[in-house]
Amino acid sequence: MTKNSSPPPPAGPPWDLPVGETPLAFVDLEMTGLDVERDRVVELCIERTVGGERVALVSTLLDPGERVGGAAHVHGLDAAAIAGAPAFDAVAGEVLEALRGAVFVAHAAVWDHRFLGEECKRVGLVLEVDHWLDTLVLARRAFAFPSYSLDALCRELAIDRGRAHRAESDVLAMRAVFARCVDVLAPASTRDLWDVRIGERHARPTIVLACEAAVKHGLPVRVTYRAARRAPEPLTMVLLEVRSDLDPPGVVGYQLPGRGRRQLRADRILRIEPATAGTSP
């Protein structure tokens, strides 16, 4: 199995729960710019959900204390818009409580994580989030689109975009994108989504195990496969071998009907499930 380039999340909840039972904290920030050390957060939304239902919400404008009006051409939050807004330290406790025990989810998540970590550090707190899910990464695996910006994904997936580059609207759109990714990837757990990687040639362990089980049983399976720069392709196959000596592992079988031989890269298999009744090898 392909080696992971970073240590996995700790065993147990929340990562080993089914996605529908996992506390998820959808996070979006609007900033004065993209310099993590100098720029500040001017709007924040964290929506905590379980099973698609909201259980907590922190949504507020923030007074950055400096660089007021930075990036206002993007989000519209100039000095007048944030007048009277609280400083981050006033809501820091709510923020950490909304995140506690939940899986952090964001779009291009490394930016939100870095900026939120810096805001916490400035007020003497620690953001105890070492792992996250990134809807940008999930969408790049699940779909074949020209662009994976939140705007583009909403357009391609017919999702109501709302007001772009405002934190609460972005979270709402991100939740819809996340749900569509989950529908395509059919994860066994939230950890299974963390194992989705782009550019690392990393095969999800649950997919490899499912392929190995299909080889053992010899029955037809339905494989959803997404080759590079191509849309997901449903294949009905009988799997013959999992080549664990390859990186990433290769999956060898024949396609039905016709018995044409195929070799698939395991990291590009989106899901695998029993074939419909009546399919014969």
Q: In the prediction, which pLDDT does 182 show?
A: 98
Nearest one of 117, 143, 153, 144 to 132, comparing CA atoms: 117
Q: In the prediction, which pLDDT does 4 show?
A: 45
Q: Are 131 and 145 in contact (CB under 8 A)?
A: no
Q: Which CATH number fits domain 205-274: 1.20.81, 2.30.30, 3.90.320, 3.30.70?
A: 2.30.30
- 119-147 pLDDT, tens digit per residue, is 999 999 999 999 999 999 999 999 999 99
pLDDT at 1 over 50: no
Q: In the prediction, which pLDDT does 73 show?
A: 60
Q: What is the DSSP letter of 266?
A: G
What value does the mean pLDDT take over residues 106-117?
97
pLDDT at 83 over 80: yes
pLDDT at 105 over 60: yes
Do the strands 103-106 and 132-134 form a parallel or antiparallel pair, or are they unpaired? Answer: parallel
76 confidence band (pLDDT: 50, 70, 90):
low
What value does the mean pLDDT take over residues 51-61?
97
- Tell me which of 55-64, 90-99, 268-277 is least confident: 268-277
Nearest one of 196, 199, 73 to 139, comparing CA atoms: 196
Nearest-angstrom CA–CA distance, 9 and 183:
23
For 193, half-sphere exposure in the C-beta direction (CA atoms, 13 angstrom radius) is: 34
- Averaged confidence pLDDT in the chain: 92
What's the token pair of residue 260?
Answer: 């044409």
Q: In the prediction, which pLDDT does 68 show?
A: 66
Contacts of 177 (CB under 8 A, 6+ apart): 107, 135, 139, 150, 153, 154, 157, 159
Q: In the prediction, which pLDDT does 199 show?
A: 82
- 176-203 pLDDT, tens digit per residue, is 999 999 999 999 999 999 999 888 889 9
Residues above pLDDT 70, as percent of the chain: 93
Q: In the prediction, which pLDDT does 65 show?
A: 84
Is 205-274 the same fold as 19-193?
no
Nearest-angstrom CA–CA distance, 104 and 99:
7
280 against 186, higher pLDDT: 186
Q: What is the DSSP letter of 10?
A: P
Nearest one of 43, 46, 41 to 60, comparing CA atoms: 43
- 24-38 pLDDT, tens digit per residue, is 999 999 998 888 999
Q: Are 87 and 63 in contact (CB under 8 A)?
A: yes
Angle value at C-alpha 123, between 120 and 129, nearest 5 degrees: 20
Buried b (16+ CB within 10 A) or exposed e, 145-175: eeebebeebbebbebeeeeebbbbbbbbbbb
276 confidence band (pLDDT: 50, 70, 90):
confident
- What dotted CATH number matches 19-193? 3.30.420.10
> Where do the domains of the chain lie?
19-193, 205-274
